[in-house]
Amino acid sequence: MLPDERGYFGAFGGRYVPETLMSALDELGEAYLHARKDRGFQEEVEYYLQHYVGRPSPLYFAANLTRHAGGAKIYLKREDLNHSGAHKINNTVGQALLARRMGKRRIIAETGAGQHGVATATAAALFGFSCAVYMGAEDIRRQAPNVSRMHLLGAEVIAVEAGSRTLKDAMNEAIRDWVTNVENTYYLIGSVAGPHPYPMLVRDFQAVIGREARRQILEINGNLPDYVVACVGGGSNAMGIFSGFLADREVRMVGVEAGGHGLETGKHAATLSRGRPGVLHGSLSYLLQDEHGQIAPVHSISAGLDYPGVGPELSYLRDSGRVVFTTAKDNEALDAFQLLCRTEGIIPALESAHAVAEAVRLAGTLPSTATVVVNLSGRGDKDLETVIQEVGQ
Amino acid sequence: MSDNRITRVFAELNARGEKALIPFVTAGYPDLETTAELVLGMARAGADVIELGVPFSDPLADGPTIQRASQAALSGGINLRQIVALVARLREQTAVPLVLMSYFNPILSYGLEAFVSEASRAGVDGLIVPDLPVEEADPLLELGDARGLALIPLVAPTSTPERITRIAAKARGFVYCVSLTGVTGRHGGFSKKLAEVIGNVRAQTGLPLAIGFGIAEPGQVRELAPYADALIVGSAIVNRISAAGENGAVKAVQNLVTELKQALVKK
């Protein structure tokens, strides 16, 4: 079972952080390994996932979308129906319970689209932590409803004006806060990125998606899917669903990165498609960077995918060939967003719309006997303003 | 590594009963030409070792001052190759030990082997990589040892005695003790654990010990000097450069270095 003791997934992962944080990472790693073995902790997590988050989330056969695509049957894993609107809550509930077990009082987080920020603020309210969320000023502008939600939930939202003023810069600032307040603060990372043990523990808390989806598709269909499709920013929803099928060699997996304006324009966030290995935010992984190792500016219409890095396990799965990565452009995601609204009456997050775009394309190339499972990682209420601006009414 | 310039300077200072002042400037801020003049000026004003910061787009151990300087330098098109070339030019004019402080990714992107070999040939004496803890340092350490380039580790107030033992065993040049839990340039007092951490480091290594982060004024220099063999001043110098503007930067920084060095020498 990966990662190894040093936090490596093959050549990727590790701990590339200031010395000030190393003891805290050791402490977190130990606390997590103990918690993982503790039946009481597991039951507590399960309790909140069931009664608070609303799990299991349905696996829904999208009959109309399937008809539209004209090929394989498309199933949607409805993480959009979770409390607080996305898969992010699976991880924040788990980590907040871990933080409580570790005796921490304050939680900090970074957020891009605001979904992880909302999910963190939600768990902080539930378990009585003080909470500060770092968010790029540009993202605060384009994800205003989530900022209001975080305020209502009692979190402080700190605008980050540095750099590109998006997720990457929010994460820099959250790490600086953690370096400064490491002795009383728990850093609740929202993706399968960051230094070991975060890629492992975030994956483990999200793995409930894949476990459920595998059981559900077997119940509904009697056999495993041909494809599992998920969007990839940092990669937490993708690792969550992929992890349930990694051992099933016959199941093919597709990660969909943000193609932005198109790979040829340079305005995209397709880290695994166009990046090369490097170190950012504590781990060695694929990275969009210039020839001198400076992190490249990235673009996506969806704030949650607008990130130049990716989780180390996904880099490993890319190089091993177990997962294939492709891209959906801004306009393709917008088309899929509207398509899902009109065919199924489901408003997806723009992030998830990237996965829907690829699933529809892929299903059209497959026979009607084939099945494609898509992780519908979040709902799109937060994106209404962006979409209305882009496509009119 | 007995012929390393860092080792020699500390030996000379030690023989005279003096402590080292290590000022830091961001390379390429405001431009490379000024950086060269600043290095030569600081050496004349009494700097014993000089740290050159390699700008990085995402400097997560740095506070606002060095973030801004790094961003400005990057906007001016600075890169690690130019900084190595700058050191080669400076080496024709000064023997002051030069240490590069760089985040890991620019070095990784350069290629570890190519970087260590070209940097050491250019006359770089040491390397501080704030996001490369001892667990990940072996490849760079081994290359550095082969070329006489000292990989200088950091120790923090949160470092446990076990970590300090591991770090000290792999330390080269000197040990960089971080004075506080926080980023560079932070105000708000030094860690209460500093004396204890320094004691733990001393027990593990005979290498010189430098304290850095948040040191800006002569008063702080006098406060910390008894604990260390060297003091590192970064953000305060970069602030002087920003405040002085185009022409006055070298003079302003020289004045600060003189002032700090006097505070260090005076009993």
| Dist CA A198 CA A204 (whole Å) | 10
Note the pLDDT of residue B1. Answer: 47
Please report where in the chains the tokens 């390397």 appear, as a residue: B127
- Which residues of A fall within a CB distance of 8 Å from B162? none
To the nearest 10°, the Cα dihedral for A269, B58, A187, A120?
Answer: -40
Put simply, whether B61 touches A (Cβ < 8 Å) is yes
| Dist CA A114 CA A88 (whole Å) | 10
For residue A344, what are its two tokens? 């199924």
Nearest Cα residue in chain A from B59: A172
**For A249-353, where are the E strands, in sequence order?**
252-262, 267-269, 276-280, 282-287, 323-329
Pairing, β A12-16 against β A8-9? antiparallel
- Within 10 angstroms of residue A246's Cβ, the number of other Cβ atoms is 17
- Which residues of A fall within a CB distance of 8 Å from B79? 292, 294
| Dist CA A191 CA A157 (whole Å) | 19
- Which residues of B fall within a CB distance of 8 Å from A17? 131, 133
Pairing, β A276-280 against β A282-287? antiparallel
For residue B108, give the nearest of A24, A162, A279 by CB distance: A279
For residue B108, give the nearest of A21, A175, A278 by CB distance: A278
Instruction: Please say whether the beta carbons of B176 and B155 come within 8 A.
Output: yes
Please report where in the chains the tokens 């040093």 appear, as a residue: A6
Do the Cβ atoms of A14 and B155 come within 8 Å? Answer: no
Residue A48 amino acid letter: Y
Which residue, A357, A14, A387, A11, is CA-closest to A200? A14
Pairing, β B20-26 against β A106-111? unpaired
Count of alpha carbons within 13 angstroms of residue A338, beta-carbon side: 12
| Dist CA A139 CA A137 (whole Å) | 5
DSSP assigned state of A104: -
Please report where in the chains the tokens 């502008």 appear, as a residue: A141
Instruction: State the catalytic residues of B.
Output: 51, 62
| Dist CA B262 CA B19 (whole Å) | 11
| Dist CA A178 CA A281 (whole Å) | 12
Angle of CA points A385, A389, A390, to nearest 5°: 120
Is B4's pLDDT higher than 50?
Answer: yes
pLDDT in tens, B20-57: 999 999 999 999 999 999 999 999 999 999 999 999 99
- Within 10 angstroms of residue A78's Cβ, the number of other Cβ atoms is 18
Instruction: Please say whether the beta carbons of B204 and B233 come within 8 A.
Output: no
The verdict on whether A88 is a catalytic residue reads yes
| Dist CA A130 CA A146 (whole Å) | 18
Catalytic residue among A110, A138, A344, A358: A110
Catalytic residue among A273, A285, A377, A382: A377
pLDDT mean by block of 10 residues, chain A; 393 residues: 95 98 97 98 98 98 98 98 98 98 97 94 98 95 91 98 89 95 96 98 98 98 97 98 98 98 97 98 98 96 94 98 98 98 98 98 98 97 92 75
Distances (CA, A) of B66 to A166, A258, A393, B62, B190: 20, 32, 46, 6, 19
Per-window interface: B 30-59 vs A, CB < 8 A: 56-59
Residue A78 amino acid letter: R
Note the pLDDT of residue B186. Answer: 87
Is B124's pLDDT higher than 90?
Answer: yes
Rounded to a whole number, what is the distance in angstroms from the first to the last CA of chain A? 49
pLDDT in tens, B153-194: 999 999 999 999 999 999 999 999 999 999 999 888 899 999
Burial of A52 (0-12, 13-18, 19+ CB in 10 A): middle
DSSP assigned state of B226: G
Nearest Cα residue in chain A from B63: A176
Mean pLDDT of B209-236: 96
Is B246's pLDDT higher than 90?
Answer: no
Do the Cβ atoms of A176 and B63 come within 8 Å? Answer: yes
Give the bridge partners for A134, in sequence order.
A110, A158
| Dist CA B92 CA B49 (whole Å) | 16
| Dist CA A95 CA A237 (whole Å) | 16
Instruction: Please say whether the beta carbons of A329 and A55 come within 8 A.
Output: no
Do the Cβ atoms of B133 and A16 come within 8 Å? Answer: yes
Altogether, the residues listed in chain B come to a count of 267
- Characterise A225 by phi-psi region: left (phi > 0), alpha (psi -120 to 50), beta (else): beta
Q: Closest Cα of chain A to B74: distance in Å? A: 9
Do the Cβ atoms of A19 and B183 come within 8 Å? Answer: no
For residue A219, what are its two tokens? 């119940």
Put simply, whether B186 touches A (Cβ < 8 Å) is yes
**Does pTM top 0.90 for this prediction?**
yes
pLDDT in tens, B197-222: 999 999 999 999 999 999 999 999 99
- The distance from CA B248 to its chain's CA centroid, rounded to whole angstroms, is 23
| Dist CA B129 CA A290 (whole Å) | 20
Note the pLDDT of residue A393. Answer: 59
| Dist CA B244 CA B255 (whole Å) | 12
Domains and CATH numbers, chain B: 5-265 (3.20.20.70)
- Which residues of A fall within a CB distance of 8 Å from B133? 15-19, 22
